[in-house]
Amino acid sequence: MKRTSLISELREIIAQEKGRGRQIALVPTMGYLHRGHLSLIEQAKQTGAFIVLSIFVNPLQFGPNEDYSRYPRDLERDARLVEEAGVDALFHPTTEEMYPRPMVTYVEVGQLDSMLCGANRPGHFRGVATVVSKLFHIVQPDLAFFGQKDYQQYLIIQRMVSDLNLPVKVCPVSIVREEDGLALSSRNVFLTPEQRMEAVILSKSLNEAERLIQAGGQSTREIEKLLRERITRESQGVIDYVEVRDAEDLSEVTDIIRPVVMALAVRFGSTRLIDNKVVEV
Write out pLDDT tens, residues 92-102. 999 999 999 99
Whether residues 198 and 145 fall in one domain = no
C-alpha distances out from residue 171 to 10, 42, 148, Å: 22, 12, 10
Whether residues 126 and 199 fall in one domain = no
Whether residue 214 lies inside any domain: the answer is yes
- Quote the pLDDT of residue 49: 98
Angle at 36 between CA 144 and CA 17, to 5 degrees: 35
**Buried-state track 32-58, b at ≥16 Cβ within 10 A, e below 16:** bbbebbbbbbebbeeeebbbbbbbbbb
Query: Does the pLDDT value for residue 243 go beyond 80?
Result: yes
- Quote the pLDDT of residue 66: 79
C-alpha distances out from residue 142 to 27, 49, 154, 160, 167, Å: 11, 9, 16, 15, 7
pLDDT band at 27 (very low <50, low <70, confident <90, very high): very high
Q: Please give the share of the chain, as a percent, with pLDDT higher than 90.
A: 92
- Quote the pLDDT of residue 148: 97
| Residue that terminates a domain, selected from 117, 152, 173 | 173
Query: Does the pLDDT value for residue 215 go beyond 80?
Result: yes
- Quote the pLDDT of residue 65: 75
Query: Does the pLDDT value for residue 67 go beyond 80?
Result: no
| Residue that terminates a domain, selected from 144, 173, 202 | 173
Whether residue 119 lies inside any domain: the answer is yes
Whether residues 121 and 66 fall in one domain = yes
Whether residue 272 lies inside any domain: the answer is yes
| Residue that terminates a domain, selected from 120, 138, 173 | 173
Query: Does the pLDDT value for residue 198 go beyond 90?
Result: yes
Query: Does the pLDDT value for residue 281 go beyond 90?
Result: no
pLDDT band at 104 (very low <50, low <70, confident <90, very high): very high
Whether residues 142 and 195 fall in one domain = no
Whether residues 9 and 107 fall in one domain = yes
Whether residues 161 and 201 fall in one domain = no
Whether residue 39 lies inside any domain: the answer is yes
Per the structure, the complete domain to which residue 167 belongs is given by: 2-173
Whether residue 43 lies inside any domain: the answer is yes
**Residue 37 a catalytic site member:** yes
Whether residues 53 and 143 fall in one domain = yes
Whether residues 198 and 240 fall in one domain = yes
- Quote the pLDDT of residue 44: 98
131-168 residue pLDDT tens:
999 999 999 999 999 999 999 999 999 999 999 999 99
Query: Does the pLDDT value for residue 70 go beyond 90?
Result: no
- Quote the pLDDT of residue 261: 98
- Quote the pLDDT of residue 199: 98
Whether residue 33 lies inside any domain: the answer is yes
C-alpha distances out from residue 4 to 25, 55, 93, 98, 237, Å: 17, 11, 8, 13, 40
Whether residue 29 lies inside any domain: the answer is yes
List the single range of 53-57, 64-68, 77-81 with lowest mean pLDDT: 64-68
Q: In the chain, how many domains are there? A: 2
- Of 34, 37, 124, 137, the catalytic one is 37
**Buried-state track 227-243, b at ≥16 Cβ within 10 A, e below 16:** beebbbeebebeebbbb
Q: Are 74 and 35 in contact (CB under 8 A)?
A: no
Averaged pLDDT, 180-208: 96
Averaged pLDDT, 63-92: 93
Query: Does the pLDDT value for residue 277 go beyond 90?
Result: yes
Whether residues 149 and 35 fall in one domain = yes
- Quote the pLDDT of residue 164: 97
Averaged pLDDT, 213-236: 95
pLDDT band at 63 (very low <50, low <70, confident <90, very high): confident
Whether residues 199 and 157 fall in one domain = no
Averaged pLDDT, 9-21: 98
Sign of CA pseudo-dihedral 250, 255, 257, 259: positive
Q: What is the pTM of this model?
A: 0.94
Q: Are 41 and 86 in contact (CB under 8 A)?
A: yes
User: Which long-range contacts link 129-135 to residues 24+ away (Cβ below 8 Å)?
Assistant: 129/156, 129/157, 129/160, 130/60, 130/103, 130/105, 130/106, 131/56, 131/58, 131/60, 131/61, 131/98, 132/28, 132/157, 132/160, 133/107, 133/160, 133/164, 133/166, 134/98, 135/26, 135/28, 135/54, 135/56
- Quote the pLDDT of residue 218: 86
Whether residue 178 lies inside any domain: the answer is no
